[in-house]
Amino acid sequence: MTTSRDVCSTGWDVKRPSRPVHGPDPLSSLRAGQNEIANHVIDEFAAGRLSRRDLLRRGALVGISAPVLGGILAACGSSPSPKSTSNKSGTGATINVGVLTPAGAINPLTVDDQGGLDMLGQTGEYLTFSDQTLTLRPQLATSWTSNSTADVWTFTIRQGVKFHNGHPLTADDVVYTYQLQSNPTSASNALSALAGVLTPSGVVKTGDYTVEFHLEAPNGNFPYLTSSDNYNMIILPSGYNPGDWQKTFIGTGPFIMKSYTVNSGATFTRNPDYWGTAAKPAGTVFTFYADQTPAISALVSGSIDVIGQFSVSGGEQLLSGGYNIIKLKSSAHRELSMRNDIAPFTDARVRQAVALTLNRPQIVQALFSGYADVGNDSPFAPVFPSTNTTIAQRVQDIAKAKSLLSAAGHPNGFSTQLIGLDALEIPDYAAIVQQSAKAIGVDISTKMETSSVYYGKATFGNSDWLDATMSLVDYGHRSVPNVFLTAPLQTYNAKTGTGSWNAAHFSNAQYDTLSQQYIAAIDLTTQRSIAGQIETLLLSETPIIYGYFYNYLTAQAKNVTGAYPTAIGHIFLYDTVKT
C-alpha cells in the first residue's frame, strides 16, 4: 500500500490535511492561495497516487504555478528538472526549414492542415503552450484557475505584450478571439474542440487583463483547449478580420513575417520588441514541399537545415545516421471506421472480426520500424496519463474472428470497399487491412484519394471521409483525448456540432454519457477509471479500429540544434542554432 510516507517523509495524512499524523504538514505554506481543485492534486501526489511527471502535468493544468510545483517536489523529496540557462538572444544564422505546403489560405479560422498550422505558430501565440511532455506552460496567459466544478475557468493575461503592429495585448483581444472562434456560424476549425464546450456568451471580460470562460459543462482539461494543441487559437487583435491574416501574419510572437508566397514559402525576421527573450536566429526561411520526398532530398543536399516532419517510410536514410533526430511519443493515429448504420457493419461481431485479423506488432514493425505504439481500438494512446493500462490488449485471433463472422450470419465472408487518404503510410496500411481480412473471407477493395477529393466538403453527404462504408483517415496528436472522444465518436448533433467527424456513424447513449463524464472529471484517478470503462465499451462495440499511435519525427542537419517540434505538427525555431 502506498502511503503519504512514501512521498512526504513527515508522514502527513492527506485524508485529514488539518491534522498531521506527526510533525507539521510540509506542504501547508504551499497550499496557501490554492483552490480546492489544486489542493486535491497536491493531495493525490502526497498520497503517492500521482507520479512526479503527473504532478507537473496536472498541477500546470489546474493552474498551480511553476514555483509552487517546485516547492511541492522539494518538500516531498523530489527536485524539479533544472531550468534551461540558455540565452536565446543573439545574432544567430538564418535557419532554413522544409514543411508541407499549406492546403489553403493562412486564416486562423479555417486552417486545418499541418503546413497551415506551422505558419500560424511562427508569429502567433496561444494563451497556453503544450510542450513535448504534454505539460502546459504559460504563454499569453500567466496563470489560470477554475471553480470547484471546473465549469468556470479564469485566466490572467500577460501584461506588457504588443502585437507586431504595436497594439497592446489586453483582455479585449482574448475575448474577441474566443468569441469569434467559438461562434457556431463562423465555420471555425477550432469548433472541433470547442463545440459543446464554449459559446461566445461564455467568454467574459472581468478586468483589463482577466477573462472568464463559462463552459457549457464541467471540463477538467479545458486549459489544453486554449493551448497550442488547439492550433487555430492564436490571439488576434480585437476587431481584426482573420481573412486578412495571410497579408500580415499579425501576432505577438518572436518572429515577424517578412514575405509569404503561396505554394512556395515564407521568410521571417526576429521580432526586436518581443515580450520574452529574443529568438536566437536572425531569421528563418521556410520552403514548402508537396510531400516529404523532395524535403528529405533538400535536407540531404544541405539546401535546408530542418525538416518539420518525416515518416519512417521514405525516411530510412535520415534514420540511418548523420542527422539530429527528434522522436516524440504521440497520440497521432489512423482511424479505420466502419459504418455502424450500413450492413454488415451494423453487427458489432462483424466489426470485432475485422479488428481481430490484424497483427498489430507486425504492423508497427512493418510500417514504422518500431517507431509507434500498438493501439487497442480506443483513442486512449499509451502517451496519455489517463489511459487505463489494465484493459487487456486485443490481439490477432483468426479462429475467433471466423466464429464471430459465422455467428453474425456471414460464414463465407462478404465484400466491401475501403476509401482512404492517399498520404504517408496510409495506402500501405490499407493494403495490410485488405490482406488480413482475406483470412476470414472478407474481400475489401481499396480506393485511395487525394485530400481534396477524400475530405470533400467535410460534411455528411458531401465527403468520402464521412460517408464511405469503411474509411481510413489520419488524426494528428493531441495532449488530451477530448477531441478524439467527441468529434469522431459522440452521437452526431447538428445543433451543438458534436460528433461532426463521426465517420463510423456510431450512436451509443452509454458511450455519450461516459465520454461526458470523462471530460468533466478533474482528477487523474477518476479519469483513469472512466477511461477503462470507455476502453472496454469500445472493444465490445468496435466502431473504429485504432491499430497504432505513431511517433512524431523531425530531423535536423548534424550541425543544427534547438529546433522544437510538437507532436501535433508545430516547428518552433526560437532556440535553433547552426555551428
Cα separation, 482 vs 503, in Å, equals 17
Which pLDDT score, from 0 to 100, does residue 452 have?
A: 84
User: Which CATH class name applies to 125-250?
Assistant: alpha beta
Q: Name, in order, each residue with C-beta under 8 angstroms of 317's C-beta and a sequence gap of 6 or more.
A: 296, 300
Which pLDDT score, from 0 to 100, does residue 76 have?
A: 62
Q: Which amino acid is at 436?
A: S
- Residues 492 and 337: beta-carbon distance below 8 Å: no
Cα separation, 194 vs 350, in Å, equals 34
Cα separation, 490 vs 194, in Å, equals 14
Q: Where are the domains of the chain?
A: 4-75, 88-117+253-326+552-579, 125-250, 333-550
**CATH of region 88-117+253-326+552-579:** 3.40.190.10
Which pLDDT score, from 0 to 100, does residue 6 have?
A: 40
Classify domain 333-550 at the CATH superfamily level: Dipeptide-binding Protein; Domain 3 (3.10.105.10)
Please name every residue paired with 552 in a beta bridge, in sequence order, or none if there are none. 328
- Across the chain, mean pLDDT equals 89
Which pLDDT score, from 0 to 100, does residue 79 have?
A: 41
pTM: 0.83
Cα separation, 537 vs 511, in Å, equals 7
Q: 10 Å Cβ neighbour count for 23?
A: 11
Residue 535, CA atoms < 13 Å, CB-side half-sphere? 22
Which pLDDT score, from 0 to 100, does residue 49 have?
A: 62
List the one residue out of 192, 190, 197, 201 whose CA is nearest residue 220.
Answer: 197
Which pLDDT score, from 0 to 100, does residue 87 have?
A: 38
Below-70 pLDDT ranges, the chain: 1-33, 35-36, 38-50, 53-54, 57-58, 60, 62, 68-91
Which pLDDT score, from 0 to 100, does residue 195 have?
A: 86
What one-character DSSP code corresponds to residue 412? T
